[in-house]
Amino acid sequence: MRESERGHAAKIRQERWAFGLIRALSGATIIILAAIVGFILWRGLRYSNETRSPYLPYAERSPEGVAILVNGGLRLEELDFEQLLGIYSDEYINWAKICADATDLLPLALEPGAPGAGSAEALVFGQAPAWGALVEFSPTPEALLERLASTPGSIAILPEPALAGLKPEARRIGLRRLVVAMNPEAAELVNERSVEEISLGDLAGLLRGSPASWAALGGPELPVRPLAPESRGPLAAALEAAGLEAPLPAGGTPAEDSGQDTCAAIASTPGAVGFAFARDALGAGLPLLRLRGRETGWNLKLRYLLEEPRLSGRAGGISTIILNTLSMLLLTVGIAGPVGVAAAIYLVEYARQGPLLRLLRLGTETLAGIPSIIFGLFGMLVFVDLLGFGFGLLSGCLTLSLMILPTIVRSSEEALKTVSPALREGSLALGATKLQTVFRVVVPAASPGILTGLLLAVGRAVGETAALLFTMGSDYKLAKGLFSSSRALSTHIYLLFAEGISFDRAFSTATVLIAVVLAFNLAAKRLVGRMSRNAAR
């Protein structure tokens, strides 16, 4: 009696352990899944990148009373000072290196003698103007604005007073020119290292004198001496507009500060550090502290879905790629669907069950397990080369069709097998032929299952990369025909990663792809639900 009670207790304990283990494992699976999908969605929706730049993240709309305007077609919000300097001294001939736009660049300015032209000149060059040969001068602000409006990729600098009363058909952009300059002695090499960068968070501390010595930042044993401009000059005004706390004044601060004076003070004071205009700091040859910050924002915008990709996907959106993917799916299902369903009908309804059929089933199952890259190689050799279809939609879709065919055959077979034999008998007993029975009763009854299989296969096709790489090409423009090379979402993700174009964009595209796959799976689930409701007696 007691023996059996003990056995019973042990069983209960065992049960509990097993139950706990199963719960823990299933919980872990769910957590892992949620983590993966959550991470990809998060990375796809938001970006958060470390930035390293000597420029403070603050763009002035009207630096020293000068407006910077660009042609309305240019996608550009702001420039930093070195870019502006480069534009006006022939360093760039198009916009590709500055923003994601390959338009030719045309710098415009007022003629040096024109009224007010000096302030623009001073903004860019300071005391020593050195206009590039590409710069086009206009005699009047009106002429300049007209040229600006009519020339894509043009940029103009002109003093604000000249703009008064005019309605320019151009966009005004901001200029980032505030930097943190340091005394050259503070940037000297110590143990083959030097102070180069600081996080934006630590900057305020540094400018208040903490840490007290450059050694704390990996520099020489030199006291940190923050310098600030006197309150009336343009630098002080710019800092105030930016809402930046000016560092505490320390010895040797110049009385009248044009910005250049601060730089001179920094250059002559050992261990000094302070805000400066890039123009002056570069002119004085001062080392600049690089600022480490973090930039966050929405990654996946509606614009990304609606715009065409440009510059290998570096810019623009993915609209044509989405359309290419959809036409790829339609074509693939159009090829593989009828063939696969017909094969399944033959296997279930007509073929004699025997060794040959078993071999065929084994073959389909094996085919379903073959890695897609092999289908890709096959597709390249046969469709692209041998049949001469070239890299294009047709080759890619034929390859994909081959790849998903086994899945479609298997799932359609299962769907057809679940149709009750009673239905077949009922139809045949009414004098229907085999063909009528199959197409009027069996296939309609199995259609939800067949459709489910098709949708799952499509879900597999939409995520396929390897089979497409060698067969469908990678042109991101809208496919113009069956033989036109085109890029699918999955290939786009791969290329964005592989060519190092943009992780953010790759993740955005991945989010879209996941949404597409999810949509297909949900549709499949609904169909399964409908099927089981119909089958319920």
Q: Which residues bind other proteins (CB under 8 A)?
A: 420, 422-423, 425-433, 436, 440-441, 444-445, 534-537
Answer whether 73's CB lies under 8 Å from 149's CB.
no
Kindly tell me which of 243 and 355 has the beta carbon lying closer to other proteins: 355
- Cβ 450 to other proteins shortest distance, Å: 14
- Cβ 409 to other proteins shortest distance, Å: 23
Q: List the one residue out of 318, 309, 311, 332 whose CA is nearest residue 472.
A: 332
Q: List the one residue out of 53, 45, 507, 42 whose CA is nearest residue 294.
A: 53
Backbone angles phi, psi at 189, to 5 degrees: -70, 130
Residue tagged 């025997």 (tokens)? 354
- Cβ 364 to other proteins shortest distance, Å: 24
The helix (H) or strand (E) run that includes residue 66 is: strand 66-71
Token code pair at residue 30 = 């769910």
Kindly tell me which of 301 and 440 has the beta carbon lying closer to other proteins: 440
Kindly tell me which of 51 and 433 has the beta carbon lying closer to other proteins: 433
Token code pair at residue 279 = 């123009």
- Cβ 411 to other proteins shortest distance, Å: 19
Backbone angles phi, psi at 223, to 5 degrees: -70, 145
CB < 8 Å & 24+ apart, contacts of 193-202 = 193/218, 194/218, 194/219, 195/219, 195/289, 196/289, 196/290, 197/52, 197/289, 197/290, 197/291, 197/292, 198/289, 198/290, 198/291, 198/292, 199/291, 199/292, 199/293, 200/57, 200/291, 200/292, 200/293
Kindly tell me which of 193 and 533 has the beta carbon lying closer to other proteins: 533
Kindly tell me which of 222 and 441 has the beta carbon lying closer to other proteins: 441
- Cβ 428 to other proteins shortest distance, Å: 7
Q: Which letter does DSSP use for residue 60 in this model? A: B
Kindly tell me which of 427 and 471 has the beta carbon lying closer to other proteins: 427
- Cβ 534 to other proteins shortest distance, Å: 5
Kindly tell me which of 302 and 536 has the beta carbon lying closer to other proteins: 536
Kindly tell me which of 427 and 502 has the beta carbon lying closer to other proteins: 427
- Cβ 435 to other proteins shortest distance, Å: 10
Helices 2-45, 503-535: inter-axial angle, 10-degree rounding = 130
Kindly tell me which of 186 and 441 has the beta carbon lying closer to other proteins: 441
- Cβ 443 to other proteins shortest distance, Å: 11
- Cβ 418 to other proteins shortest distance, Å: 12
Answer whether 110's CB lies under 8 Å from 88's CB.
no
- Cβ 398 to other proteins shortest distance, Å: 35
Token code pair at residue 523 = 């549709």
Q: List the one residue out of 56, 105, 109, 35 whose CA is nearest residue 76.
A: 105
Report the C-alpha gap between 158 and 517 in whole angstroms. Answer: 52
- Rg of the Cα trace of the chain? 34
Residue tagged 């409006």 (tokens)? 149
Kindly tell me which of 251 and 354 has the beta carbon lying closer to other proteins: 354
* DSSP string across 369-420: HS-HHHHHHHHIIIIIIIS---SSHHHHHHHHHHHHHHHHHHHHHHHHHHS-
| Residue 243, amino acid | G
Kindly tell me which of 134 and 432 has the beta carbon lying closer to other proteins: 432
- Cβ 429 to other proteins shortest distance, Å: 4
Q: Which letter does DSSP use for residue 351 in this model? A: S
